[in-house]
Structures are given as structure tokens and as C-alpha cells.
Chains A and B, each alone.
Chain A
């Protein structure tokens, strides 16, 4: 029995590893058909040896054995590349074999563990672990690989001069006057750096939390304290709907605003606010660089629902009898709200704010059509820029010329690394703050 279960364990682990490898590399496919057949044989041996040694023999083992034979046959029949009029593109067969191997090897591992540990109820509990450990392991590995790639490619290029200087170039659009004639200047690089991108990310986070925090908390408090049941339902529904709107829809509104500004608000302060200082349209509509202020307002539209929801949940989580105790002491509604309910929901609000800031730092949907390279400095009215946009720009380029892509391309992992550091640092600070406040107000 023991030998059979050890053999089955080894075979199913081999199948599991093979499945993971096929998943990891697109076209990797090493003998899935024989492996599946061996797996089914091992399962059958497991079943019959369990019957011979008078242990509880699970009928479902046979089902899995049959399934693995069936999937081996299906794999044998499939062509190497799948394509057709219902599939846009090509799928290599290894994808399917990875699917079969993973779905069949995980239960096989469970069964062999069950018999290896003696087929007791305790062994049954332990033998279920692979069912959730394998997916968790896969996801963690994926995250780990991404992190590893960012750190290995990004960290060595990080130095002080990169952080301390803004990126500057002379793009093909600009002209200088020489001897009374305009001269087009070709792409030239003046300075490599990500200072403006970092500052822009921070400014975006700060501005959008500044806008969304009071409004979000206000909405949460209103829904919880002042709105009637019907009103509360309507508000909750609309905040959820706002959250569900994709950022790309907001971009459409933003573009229309920019067009409106360039057509009708020329030369006024509103044009500066909507478009930023550096926008140069020259009569034709260029997908345009909005200011930090406008970008923050639009990002706030994404954050406000989060903050409103967490605030309301925090307020709801306060036990009813404590609120009653406050009312019974003659405290006014406002006093109860400010001194009791809001401090209680601070930890929730901080969590919401961190989520919102991460959204502001990493969001691309709103600003990737409206951002610039930040040559013009960082202030609320300048054109938007952020690390997220830099990464996008390095990868996919922009319409106005490829200086950024050419010169900043090697630094995209560094930018991702810095963005990651900012987000993680923020989360850590928020966690510490949250714990301190929770200790103070909840006595936990």
C-alpha cells in the first residue's frame, strides 16, 4: 500500500510540475500523453491496493483515472496549433495539456497523500491541502516572478542623478530662430531623469486624496446618518455605478473638455486649468495634456466611491448600544458623530485612502491620453505626468516622437521599481497608522 501511494505521489507530482512548466512557457510541451496514461495507471494501482489492504477505497479515483485516459486521447487528437474562425489567433496545444495536467494531478496528489497518511479522517483533512496550496503557490510564483524581474532590471539602474533630474529633450516640434530663419531641431536628448514623474505621481496622489477625502467621508456620513432609507439606496447605487464606469469613459469627457477649452476658453485661466500650461494646439486638435488639477478631479471620481463605502461600513460597524449610550448622555448628533463615530471608523477610512492613493499612483486609464513628459515642471496647472505614464510611454511610445521611448526605455523597470516602492511604503505607513489608531480608539 505504502509503495503504491509513494509511487502515485511521485507520478502526480511529476505531472503537476509538468503542468506548471507548460503553463509558464508558451510552447513547452513534454510528453503529456504518456504522463497522463502513467497517471491513470498509478491511480488504478492506488485504488486496487487500497481494496487489497482493506482500506476505504474511494470510487472517485476510478473516475479520475478514466478522465486522465480520456484527456490523453483528446490531446493525442488535437493539432499542435488551434485556430479557426471562432478563435482570433493561435493557441498552442501546450495550453490545453497544462490545463489537463493541472486539473488531474492536484486530485491525484490529494488521493496519494490520503493513502500515504493511513486513510484516517485526520489524513483526509491534511490531504485536502494541495487543493488550495497549489493555486496559492501558482499565484505567488507569478507575483514573485514579476517582482523579481522589476527588481533585477530596475534596481541596478537606480541612482541619485536619475531621481534628482527631470527628463528633458528637444522634440521635433519645437523650432528655434537662427539668423532670422526658423530652424527645425531634430531629436536631441538634454537630460535623463524621472524627477518630474515622481513628483507628479506624489502630486496626483496628494491632490486627488485632498479632493476625494472630504467628499467621500461626507457622502458616507450622509448615507449613514441623515439620508432616509430610499435616499440611501439611491446614493449607494449611484456610487457603485460610478465605481463601475471605466476610466476610459472619463477620458472621453476629459477630451471633450480639452477640445472645448482650446476652442472657446482661449487665453483665459480656465484654459490653463483644463489644459495645463504647455499645451500647443496650433489650430488642430492634439490629444491633449490636461493639468494635474483636472486629472486629480477625474481620478477622485474613481476614489470617492471607495472612500464613501468604507466610511459607511466603518460607521455601521459601531455597536448600536454605544451610540445609544452617547445619545442617553445628552450628546448632540454632531458630537456623537465627531467624537465617537468618526474616530471609530478612522481605520476603515485610512484603508480606503490607501486603496485610493494606489489607484491614483498606478492609474493609467484616466491619464494615459492626457499626460505629457513633464518638461514644464510640476505644479497643479502644469501638464500631467506620472510614473505610470512613463512606463506606458516607454513600452508603447507616443505620437509626438520617440525620444522618450528611445532614451528612457532602459529605465522603465527603474520607474516601475520606484512606483512599487512608493506604493508599498505608503501601505506600510498606513498599516502602522491604522494599528495605532485602532489601538487608541477601539482598545483592541
Chain B
């Protein structure tokens, strides 16, 4: 077959039957857009999560009694420091503060601003803060979500916390965290550890948990056993466990979408299959006619394969491009709520553009293979029947 003549006829077929092809491209673009958006969001969240976890402490211990987290004695920090391989032991005070009227909550994090922080980003934020100015009265650093929420409820510069003793404690807003930290800091209020203790009802020798680092990863497994042996009610979580929990959460949400996508794709494939199989008589007649005019089975399959490939390729480029714009430029309105909607404050997190080759390949394969198969199998079936029968 002369290549020029073939391409000429292929372009002719595509152009002359453009309404048919455009309708298929339209549906394909929608499906690809949906799939790509979900995978883009998942991979972007995974990337942000990995970046976030990189700067998290390796281990967190707290006290569990009767299946419930209770306050942890600060003295346990000294015991941890005695274990060989443990470094950067940091007690933390934090807890949820409920904004009763609206059913929302903030995460209060108390830190010792004069010591090195277990969380690198927190350290960077504190380093950029004028400590002298900060300690001039009760002050706090807040996430963007908290700031937006307080603004909406007319707490522009400060908030009055009600302590467990029934006393109001007014705390000023000193600074707002940048939006890049929103995945973890969106609903966070960072304040001096003693102030946090008062608001959350801890005594001076109690903390919420204690973090520490183990620089040698080979010691991680053993470290869990060593630390657990210190006290019967001590609970240890390492960074990998946290990562798994987050991944499970996002994979669960992404998985739900993938199932939905597969249902849509299966339906679409079925429609295509029907369209190109017995049901679609014009297509069948055309194939029979081509065969009657001297085209071999291979010639017919090549034409239909290339025709389908062009449709798939155009749909892929358009679908992925629109999804990219939707997720990384427009910020994925609607879908974002599905992925981040579990949070109690509105999150203004922007997705970090991540173009992973494996994701792009997965999108192509998940879409192109069923599509091409749905078209080519019926075409092949018709091609191998006698032309006379196909033309009936």
C-alpha cells in the first residue's frame, strides 16, 4: 500500500465523517478529563504529602489508657533520650479547640520557641518571626483557613479562648502561615507552649505527645520495640505509619473515582462495541464494500486502527491538557472539595503541578486500550467474514 495514498484516504475519512469522530472525541475528552483530573490531584497530593512528611519528626509517642489518648508525662522525654540512637526529643502540646457555635475546630499547637523545633517548616516559620515582638503579650501564628474563618466571624485581630476553668483568654493573631503549608497548617494555631497548656487544660508537667528522631533508618523497626517496652501505656507511631494512613485516605478517595471512571469507561466501550459490531450496519457495509473492492483484511484493519489512533490521540492531548488547566491552574473546583472536604475549615491549598510519566502513561493505557479494542475487535470480526455477508 502506498503510504501517501493511504494517509490521503485516512485524512479524507476523518474529515468527511467529522461529525461522527467529533462526537466520539467529545465524549472521550470528558472521560479523559475526569480520569486525568483525579490522577493529577492524587499525584499532586502524594507529592505534597511526601514533601511534608520529609520534614516531620521520625517518631511520635503518646500515652493511651483504655483506648483513649490522655496527657503524656513530660519526663518520658528524658527516658527516650537515654535510648541509644535517639535524638531531637521534643515534647509537644496540642489539641482541638472547638468553635461550638459553628461545629468547627482549630488545631492548637504549643511550641517552645526558644528550642529547636521538631518540624522543619515550623522552625523556618519561627526563625522568620520576631521572637521579642511575639512574646509581647499572648500571640499566635495561624493557618490561612483559621484566619479566613475568624475574619468571617468578626475576630479580625484576636480570639477569646474559653479555658477548661471557664476563664476567657484573649490571644492576638501575630502572623498567617503561607498557603504552601496549607495541607498541614490550614486549621493550625501555633502559640507558646505555656499558653497552649492553659487553653487545652494541661498541667505544667504534661504534654500531648513527644517526638524524636532516629537518624539511622535500620534502627527504626527495633526502636519501636525498645520504646514500647518503656511503659505499658506508651503508644509509638513512626513517619512511615503516618504516610501509609494518608496514602490510604487519598487512595481511597482516588480509588472511588477510578471505580466510577471504570464504570463510565465500560459503558462507553460497550456503546463503541455495539456501534462497530453487528448493530452498526453502515460501518459493517463499508467494511464489506472495501473488501469487495480489493482491500485485504490487513488494509481494512490498518485503516480502522489508524483512524481510531488519531481519535484517541487527539482526545488524549485535549483531555489531559484541559485537566492540567483545571487542576493546576484553576485549582480543581468541586473535585478539590471531594479530596479535601473532610477538613473542617475551608482549605485554600493549591495543587503543586506534578507531571509524572507513569501517571500520563496510565491515563493513556487505561483509556486507549479499551477504546482501541472496542473498535478493532468488531472491525476484525466483520473483516474476516465474507464481503457479501458483511455488505448485507
The answer to whether A and B belong to the same complex is no
Residues of B that sit less than 8 Å from A by CB: none
Residues of A that sit less than 8 Å from B by CB: none
